[in-house]
Structure 1
Amino acid sequence: MRVLRWYTWSAVAGMTVVVLVLVTGGWLLDSGTPGWARVAGTAALVMTVGATVVLLSRRIAGAEPGAAWLGTAGVGAAVLGAAMLADRNELWAVAPSIVVSVAATFLPPRRQWVAIAVAAAALTVPGTLASLATDDGELPYAAAFPAGLLVFTAWVTLGPLWVWDVAERLHRARRLAAELAVADERLRFAADLHDIQGHHLQVIALKSELAQRLVAADPARAAAEMAEVRRLAADALRDTRALVQGYRRTTLEDEIANATRVLAAADIDARMDVAPAQDRLSDSGRHLLGLVMREATTNVLRHSRAAHATVEYRIEADRARLRVSNDGAGPPGTPSGLETLAARLATAGGELTWSHDGGRFVVAAALPVGAA
């Protein structure tokens, strides 16, 4: 999105500035241009170019145009167009067409072309009056050319900005889809937890009430019911642990694939050098290195402004080695998640190290292939 934003702004703003400078610059440098027109045109050109560039920047950023900038651009285009028209330059409508087109980009889509049509009709008037006043015999051309120039300019200006708007809406939709996916997963987990705990707790409550009533009348039956309650509580605890473990279980393969997608979505050029030997690693080892991969990816996204990242994984001498590095690291420091993982890997006979060299941060993990 940053690249597209820069490209859209540079294309539209660059085209606007180049057209204004080329068209009016040639007229200003012409030896036949009156001195008063040259002075007024130069000042108006500076106003128009500056205000137009600011307006396009605000349009790309999604900000309001600002009455001052619209007024500056409008006054500059009007003065420039009037000076060129008074000097009988047929390209007098270029500056007004550009400013009207840029201003229309701030309107809702349905009103943009209505404004363009009204402005095009208005631009036929000065050309018609000038042609009638000079009796040059080119009345149809003088009336139609400014209107056609405005429609063409609006088409060229609104097109790239429309593409930018569509891309931005798609980007927001993608982020919303990701948030909805997280919400759906939370609801799924909540539903699973409710299904497991709801039944156990309901039965425990009923049997506890029954045991309370039987304490005086049938102590042996009450004791049996309480034993059943204890068994149900143990089952509920075991099922809950199994649910949480299955929900939070991760593998190295999944985390590498997830890191590829996440880093690419963050505009980070990620290079994956993964040897096809992961099947030799135990399930526990896959889980531990998966946690390292997840933590390293999180640190890249949270604590750096990386442009490039590298993930290397291979098995050497019965030890699985994972190395994650990135540029653009922030100030030196040790994320708490790495310290916790280092202790877990040490317990499994492995090691986890990290180093900070200038703007580069490297996380390296090693674990025995058969680590339990």
Structure 2
Amino acid sequence: MTLPASQRSLTLDDFDYHLPEELIAQHPAAERRASRLLHVQPDALHDLMFPAVLDLLQPSDCLVVNDTRVIKARLFGKKATGGAVEILLDRLIDADHAYAMVRASKSPQPGSYIDVAGHAVEVLGRDPDHGDQYHLRFGSEILPLLDTHGSVPLPPYISHEADADDERRYQTVYADASKPGAVAAPTAGLHFDDALLAAIQAKGVKLVKVTLHVGAGTFAPVRVTNIAEHKMHSEWFSVPQNAVDAILEAKARGGRCVAVGTTSMRSLESAAALSGSGGSLRAATGDTSIFITPGFKFNVVDALITNFHLPKSTLMMLISAFAGMQRVRTAYAHAVAQRYRFFSYGDAMFLEKKLNDSEI
């Protein structure tokens, strides 16, 4: 007899589901707000269009978004031998240093150089504290080089090369030009346009901004069967004091904290976990490798707007922890049957928090 999930260690198979390949969205909807929205309540599912989020939000709520800006993190170059090299930046360390994944026929050696459009990039070695990624030193400032020669690092399940439309649509409308650093978009935010955000704020909902620079590790598969053995990649985040004040004020007046995307959620719950005050939200800045799985106690977020995630991914574990494993399974089966579009350019869900800790 197979024990229920509540009575055994969770494995990767607990977060699997069947997805027909044709449901993986290869391009965004014609307009940002034209996506569908599945409202997942404790006891019901509702098929909506994304602008209905305006009706699901209450004037006392606050809506928390991640204002990171996606950089053109993919570069192509050559080794001194002439061999082709692909560089995918994961994190900017400073103006001319970065951690990156490097793909080549033979691993580049410390002290060697990669030529990127006439710019010499020195390989300083691998850093075991950053997933064994390469530490690279650029001969000039990185961001101008990326703007000129880089390309948008679309997820591996999107088959086309990034083009000008991707540069515009794989970026939220509220991405802050002064906060570049994400190598993947916080995709739940891609559904909002300026008019919808204006309508939400006109209703009385407070728009709150946090920052988490999404790293390349977000695409990394979980390679262990027992999920407790998985090690999360680290990402830089910031929850400023004005965000904390707005969230606490909303809760004091009976409102909810509604997170747009798992990155906003992880920022807020990381700040609460690091506060050292029993889960109370405090301002925080630094690295987070928070791993949210069923059994996690949520201290800040009351509802979550999110896209549909890959089978067996850490994000499936996160939403299962938040809304309940069985409810998420039911919602995903419904979404597949109703032909929702999945992943980064796909449709969205509005998830209500599970009612109690005993709900699986």
**Structure 2 length-normalised TM:** 0.20
Greater relative contact order, per chain length (Cα 8 Å cut-off, separation 6+): 2
Give the strand-richer structure, 1 or 2: 2
Give the structure with the higher percent helix: 1
